[in-house]
Amino acid sequence: MLSTVCGREASVLPAAGAFSEGELVRVSGLCKRFKGFSLEDVSFSVPRGAVVGFIGENGAGKSTTIKSLLGLIRPDSGRISLFGKEERQLGKADRNRIGAVLGETCLPENLHLKDIDAVMRHIFLHWDGEAFFRYAEKFALPVDKKVREFSRGMRQKVSLAVALSHGAELLLLDEPTAGLDPVARDEILDILYDFMQSEEHAVLISSHIVSDLEKLCDYILFIHEGKIVFFEEKDALGEKYALVRCPAEKLVGLDPAAVVAFYRGEYGASALVYRDRVPSSFETERASIEDIMLYFARGERV
Amino acid sequence: MKGSLLKSWKNILPVLAYYLLFAVIFFAVSFLADSVLYFCGVGVMIAFAVPLSSMSVDERDGWDKFAVASGVGRGELAASRYIFALATVLSLSVPAAVLAALLPERVRQFASMLLLCGISLLVLSVALPLMHKYGVEKTRILLLVIVVVLFGAGIAFGWGFLLDEHASAAFPLFAVPAAALSLGTVCFAVSWLVCIRICRRKDL
C-alpha cells in the first residue's frame, strides 16, 4: 500500500495523485520555499488505522509539512488530500475531524481549563466537555489554574486533551512529547494506543524522541534538509538495514552498493548497510531507528 | 466566531479593570469640566488599546494557528477582531452619550462625541490591518505614532471647527462630526476587507 520514498536512496516513488480509500492523508510533490530553507517534493500517505512517525533533525521540515496539512502554510506546489478532499476544499466539519498538537501550546494561556472548555464548545462542532475534563483529570491538570501557570509538559497535555476531545479521527501531532518526562511521555503514548484502538483512526506524529516512535509507530517517515529520505514500515526497516562494525580496512571489502553511510573512528569503522547485500562473513547488528536516522543524516557516503 | 469572541473577552478580562478605572476617572473629569472631550479622548485610546492587547495576547499564544487548524476560517478570524473592536467602540459610546446628555450645550457635546467616534474608527481602520500583516509586537511603536497623529489631526481639525463660530455658522454643527463618522465607517469596512485578504495570504 505504501511506497518507499527516498530522495537519496529509494528507487520507488509514491503513486502521485490518486487517493485511496484506505488513506486519511495523501501528500504528493509538496514544495514550499522560504528564505534559506525549502521543502522539496515531499510525498507520503497516512493509512487509516496506522501511526506514522515523522522523524528528522530540527529544521528538517517536519513542522512545515504538518502546518501545510493543517492549512496554516500555503504550499508553492504539490497536492495535499485529507479524507479524500483537497486541503483547500476542507470545510469546518472536515477540519474538525483533525486533532492537532502544534509545537507550541497555541491555546489561550490566560484562561483556566473551564474557560477553555467554554471557548472550545463554540470552536468545535462535536466538542465533548466531559471527555476534556476526563483527560484533564487523567493528566492531573489543575482546573482552577491558568494555562500560563502550567509547566511546559502540562501545557502539552492540555493541547493533547483538546485534540482528543472533539471526536477527531486523525491526529497530527508536532512534537507532542517535547518537554515531558519519561513517565508523562509514557502516559501520552498510552493515550495514543487507546486512540488507535479504532481502525478508523490514524496518527501522524513527529518527535525527536525516536524511542517513543519505535514503540508506537507502524511507519516511519524520515525527512532531511526538506527532502523525504524514506517512508517505510517500521518492521521493514529492521529487515532492510543493519549495522556493521569492523576495522576500517575490512569495511573497504564491502560492495559500495551495500553501504548507505559509514563513520570512521579511531578504533575502527561502522556502517549502515543493506542487510541483504552484505556477505555472511560480516557480522551484522540490528539498526535502531535512531541509528538509521543518524547514519542517513550525518554519515559519510561511499 | 462566538468561540473567538469569547476567547478575546476572557483574554482581556485581567486588564479590563485598568481601562475601566481610566474611563471612570476621565468620565468624572469630563463631568466636572463640562466637556465630553476628555472622556472621549481617552475613549479613542482605549478603543485602540483593547483590540491591541487582545491581539498581542493572541500573538503570544499562537491562537491564529490553533484556530485555523481547528476549522475557524481566516475571514472569520479577521471578522472576530473587527467585531471585537467595534464592540469596544460601541461600549465606550454609551457612557459618552450619557455624559453628553448630562452636560450643558448638549448638541455641541453630541457633535464632539460623534467626531471622536469617527476618529476611533479611523484609528482602528489603519491599525488593525498593520497588526494582522506585521504582528503587534513589530508594529507597536509605529501604531502608537499613527494613533497620536490621527488623533491629534482629528482633534485639531474637528475641535477647531466646533469651536470656530464663523465655521459653525457657515456649516451645520454636525457637518464635520458626521463627515468624520462616515469616513471612519467607510474606512473601517474597507479595512475589514483588506484584513481578510491579508489573513488569507498569510503563512501562520
State pLDDT tens for residues B169-188: 666 777 888 888 999 999 99
Phi, psi of A13 (to 5 degrees): -95, 155
* Residues B192/B78, Cβ–Cβ less than 8 Å: yes
> What is the distance between the alpha carbons of residues A242 and A245, in angstroms, rounded to a whole number?
10
Query: pLDDT band at residue A19, thresholds of 50, 70 and 90?
Result: low
A interface mutation test: which of B6, B53, B77, B199 has the most A CBs within 10 A?
Answer: B6
3-class secondary structure per residue, A222-259: EEECCEEEEEEEHHHHHHHEEEEEECHHHHCCCCHHHE
Q: What is the pLDDT at residue A58?
A: 87
pLDDT > 50? residue A11? no
Q: What is the mean pLDDT of chain A?
A: 87
What is the CATH superfamily name and number for domain A23-237?
Answer: P-loop containing nucleotide triphosphate hydrolases (3.40.50.300)
Domain extent for B102: 2-201
pLDDT exceeds cutoff 50 at A10: no
Residue-wise pLDDT tens digits, B107-164? 888 988 998 899 999 999 999 999 999 999 888 888 888 888 888 887 777 767 666 6
Q: What's the pLDDT band for A12 if we cut at 50, 70, 90?
A: very low
Q: What is the mean pLDDT of residues A255-272?
A: 87
Per the CB < 8 Å rule, is A121 touching B201? no
Q: In what order do the strands lie in the sheet with A98-101?
A: A98-101, A170-174, A202-206, A51-55, A219-224, A227-233
**A4 has pLDDT over 60:** no
**Tens of pLDDT, residues A184-193:** 888 888 899 9
Interface contact flag, B61 A106, Cβ < 8 Å = yes
Determine contact, residues A274/A258, Cβ cutoff 8 Å: yes
Look at chain B and report how many structural domains it folds into. 1
Kindly state the average pLDDT of the residues B87-100. Answer: 94
For residue A300, give the DSSP letter: B
Mean local confidence (pLDDT), A37-62: 93
Interface of A to B at Cβ within 8 Å reads 67, 70-74, 90-96, 98, 100, 102, 104-111, 115, 118-124
Cα–Cα dist A218/A211, whole Å: 13
**Where do we find the cell 503587534?**
B136
Q: What angle do CA A128, A134, A137 make, to 5 degrees?
A: 145
Would you say residue B165 has pLDDT above 80? no
> In the predicted model, what is the mean pLDDT of residues A199-227?
90
Q: Above 90 in pLDDT, residue A255?
A: no
Best residue of B55, B70, B72, B84 to probe chain A, by most A CBs closer than 10 Å: B70
With a cut of 90, say whether residue A39 has pLDDT above it: yes
Report B:31-60 residues touching A (Cβ under 8 A). Answer: 57-58, 60
Which residues in chain A have their CB less than 8 angstroms from residue B67's CB?
A: 123
